[in-house]
A and B are shown apart, each in its own frame.
Chain A
């Protein structure tokens, strides 16, 4: 028989670190803070018959958040043999609140006082013998980051596993509550019930709190349920408060007595180092300049200096024309193996070329993720949400929306996934929809192409692209928050902030790797397939001799392009080439520029890049080029990002809303830019102009119409 030990505790109490130390990180852990919604299992190092389960971090065993429900159901229904309750010893009182609730579940428990190094450094003293006596269970001191005491905690848990345990309170609650608890016990005992005597305390207080979300409650008969309800109501009347507050207050009062007997705080009123940092970093005058400086450094390192250098290396050497580069080597291999020309073309032009375009961005993205992981691990990321909250609130977003957008500048997929930390459903949905408006690294080649081919490399094009993205987010936030369908449950901005600490190498590297790998995997699998399909469509078609390999002009791709092209006519670029390029962006935005190269470059009278650019220029006016750029930046993102949207929205309807909104928004803005540009430069007006004026008016109305926030908190 194997022994099952669960790890439970508050968020930021170091549970994951303990789990990694116990299991030797045989399981893949590490996630965004607060999104370990699923439990994770691993086996104890050196003792394969001991299974360790890492439960999501929670503040209480109430049934409100997803994390609470997962943890609570596991503990009540699956009853592990023992629990290790991980406690941030530097934050004893708050952590013991959850502890008392877990102890009432009657499962043998070890209290693991983690982060003892911080307590010792402060000079505070915890009387573990006293704590052990007061709670009736073993207490172990830990410093999980240094793997101290971790194994001892597990050994203690194994010792007590499966033995009977009943938590006994050492202090009484107020007479009114004690009386109500007694009466509730009597009510429950009126009829046969499914509640174990060791768990009675847990259920009594849950029932009194009107927490009825358990099987045990549903098994009671109606008169019992009515009696319990009237006990709660009586107590509320007697004390003049709601029952939830009553029980929380009593529980905290109880814990204060425990802490008073076991904890010695040397300097209760001094500001800690972390507080001193906060007084500078979140200071009224310094917060935004410091934030701007940090962001500048992050982007300078990841995009311009180190990351840029590595990406150039990959693009120009690994996937370039060096004698040892991947395309060269594969080409030689295929030739010597005697592969057919079409197969060589498929593999080299289609798959290797397409994958190369995406994988080239991996170094840049890895450096960006590394920087962001460092910001997150040291505790600054949580402060960014705080600093930007008031600003973002005006646009219908929360401070937490910034992080997905920040990550979205690298790649939209992890950006969209990072929106999980936003509890408010409305804020989260708006964030998911708008995150990809920020130009991701895959859109940079489009910007470079338009700027180079049409505007002679003008310096204003790239900033304009970012500005358009930010303006699109702000306008969308303002518009969407006014829509009824987006009115979700108002979730207030309340967030525990971790203490600042030096980032741990292991943690940072795990995070970086996990995020980069999900980028590589998602991009790799989808783009691999898409490249093959696009290659096929661009090479094959019906010609006079039937179906076979044809010139690009005659290919299936060209036919499809010509069919769709009229849709983009009002935007000023309705020919099959631009259409195909745009549609190919669905698979990966890098394709847009790539397809331009393929289509315009394959014609026989192009020798150099400037010839290709000349051909492209002949198909655009300055305003149709801007319209093309804006449409491609704002419209539906690549399929990998759409997949991420679907995954995070968890609903087909909302995914379609997101994609439809993005595309519609892009279409309207691109239409207005082209039509107004044409009108003001004397290009004349037509039916498209009329639509542009009407849509612009509608847009302006949505943006400016008055709105009274109905936010009850």
Chain B
């Protein structure tokens, strides 16, 4: 399941981060790594603000679709 499917306020776990190499690296540096918790704070037209490792990150819908959660 991708991060797009997560409900607001629900704590999920990141299983995989896909996409181009640089996108993956940037997301990884920001804390989007396997096994990390992630919580959607708000959703607006598919774009998300999420809490990952204690920081708030805004993601576009397309990027969120590359983050696989369980």
A40 CB–B CB distance under 8 Å: no
Chain B residue contacts of A271, Cβ below 8 A: 9, 41
A252 touches B31 (CB 8 A): yes
Give the contacting residue for B57; candidates A97, A387, A389, A494; CB below 8 A: A494
Chain B residue contacts of A383, Cβ below 8 A: 58
B12 CB–A CB distance under 8 Å: no
Q: A390-B46, A713-B20 are in contact. Are A97 and B63 (CB under 8 A)?
A: no
Chain B residue contacts of A91, Cβ below 8 A: 53-55
The total of chain B residues at the interface (CB under 8 A) is 43
Report the separation of the CA atoms of residues A448 and B28 in the bound assembly, to the nearest whole angstrom: 53
A501 CB–B CB distance under 8 Å: no
A492 touches B23 (CB 8 A): yes
Query: 8 pairs across A/B with beta carbons < 8 Å?
Result: A60-B29, A245-B17, A248-B28, A271-B41, A492-B23, A493-B63, A495-B57, A496-B30
Give the contacting residue for B28; candidates A244, A275, A385; CB below 8 A: A244
Chain B at the A interface: SS class: mixed
B42 to chain A, nearest CB (A): 5
Chain A residue contacts of B8, Cβ below 8 A: 279
A278 touches B49 (CB 8 A): yes
Give the contacting residue for A389; candidates B17, B33, B60; CB below 8 A: B60
B5 CB–A CB distance under 8 Å: no
Among residues of B, the one whose C-beta sits closest to the C-beta of A88 is B55
A249 touches B34 (CB 8 A): yes
Residue-by-residue, is A243-268 near B (CB-CB < 8 Å gives 1, otherwise 0)? 01100110011000000000000000
Residue of B20, B35, B43, B55 with most chain A CB atoms under a 10 A cut-off: B55
Segment 634-683 of A: residues with Cβ below 8 Å from B: none
Report the separation of the CA atoms of residues A492 and B49 in the bound assembly, to the nearest whole angstrom: 14
Chain B residue contacts of A490, Cβ below 8 A: 20
Report the separation of the CA atoms of residues A386 and B35 in the bound assembly, to the nearest whole angstrom: 26
B47 CB–A CB distance under 8 Å: yes
A199 CB–B CB distance under 8 Å: no
Chain A residue contacts of B63, Cβ below 8 A: 492-494, 713
State the B residues within 8 Å of A (CB): 8-9, 11, 17, 19-31, 33-36, 41-47, 49, 51-63, 66
A493 touches B59 (CB 8 A): yes
Give the contacting residue for B44; candidates A274, A386, A495, A497; CB below 8 A: A386
Residue of B11, B19, B36, B52 with most chain A CB atoms under a 10 A cut-off: B36
Report the separation of the CA atoms of residues A490 and B35 in the bound assembly, to the nearest whole angstrom: 27
Among residues of B, the one whose C-beta sits closest to the C-beta of A386 is B58
B59 touches A494 (CB 8 A): yes
A94 touches B44 (CB 8 A): no
State the A residues within 8 Å of B (CB): 59-60, 62, 64, 90-94, 97, 242, 244-245, 248-249, 252-253, 269, 271, 274-275, 278-279, 282-284, 287, 382-383, 385-387, 389-390, 393, 489-490, 492-499, 711-713
For the A-B complex with A60-B25, A92-B54, A496-B55 known, give 7 more contacts whose Cβ atoms are closer than 8 Å. A90-B54, A94-B30, A245-B34, A248-B25, A282-B44, A493-B47, A494-B58
Report the separation of the CA atoms of residues A493 and B31 in the bound assembly, to the nearest whole angstrom: 16
A389 to chain B, nearest CB (A): 6
Residue of A60, A283, A287, A492 with most chain B CB atoms under a 10 A cut-off: A492
Give the contacting residue for A282; candidates B19, B31, B49; CB below 8 A: B49
A244 touches B24 (CB 8 A): yes
Give the contacting residue for A494; candidates B20, B21, B30; CB below 8 A: B30
B23 to chain A, nearest CB (A): 5
Give the contacting residue for B66; candidates A496, A498, A713; CB below 8 A: A713
A244 touches B25 (CB 8 A): yes
A245 touches B24 (CB 8 A): yes
Chain A residue contacts of B60, Cβ below 8 A: 389-390, 393, 492-494
Chain A residue contacts of B47, Cβ below 8 A: 386, 389-390, 493
Among residues of A, the one whose C-beta sits closest to the C-beta of B27 is A494
Chain B residue contacts of A497, Cβ below 8 A: 49, 56-58
Report the separation of the CA atoms of residues A282 and B36 in the bound assembly, to the nearest whole angstrom: 25
Q: A271-B41, A713-B19 are in contact. Are A248 and B29 (CB under 8 A)?
A: yes
Among residues of A, the one whose C-beta sits closest to the C-beta of B30 is A59
B54 touches A94 (CB 8 A): yes
Report the separation of the CA atoms of residues A278 and B43 in the bound assembly, to the nearest whole angstrom: 10
Report the separation of the CA atoms of residues A492 and B65 in the bound assembly, to the nearest whole angstrom: 12
Residue of B9, B44, B57 with most chain A CB atoms under a 10 A cut-off: B44
Give the contacting residue for A62; candidates B25, B41, B54, B58; CB below 8 A: B25
Chain A residue contacts of B43, Cβ below 8 A: 284
A274 touches B26 (CB 8 A): no
Report the separation of the CA atoms of residues A383 and B47 in the bound assembly, to the nearest whole angstrom: 12
Ranked nearest first, the 10 interchain pairs of A and B with the lowest CB-CB distance are: A493-B60, A390-B45, A248-B28, A59-B29, A60-B29, A497-B56, A386-B58, A93-B53, A492-B63, A252-B33
Report the separation of the CA atoms of residues A253 and B17 in the bound assembly, to the nearest whole angstrom: 16
Chain A residue contacts of B27, Cβ below 8 A: 494
B8 to chain A, nearest CB (A): 8
Q: A279-B41, A492-B23, A494-B60 are in contact. Are A62 and B46 (CB under 8 A)?
A: no
Give the contacting residue for B62; candidates A90, A387, A713; CB below 8 A: A713
Among residues of B, the one whose C-beta sits closest to the C-beta of A96 is B53
B25 touches A386 (CB 8 A): no
B69 to chain A, nearest CB (A): 15
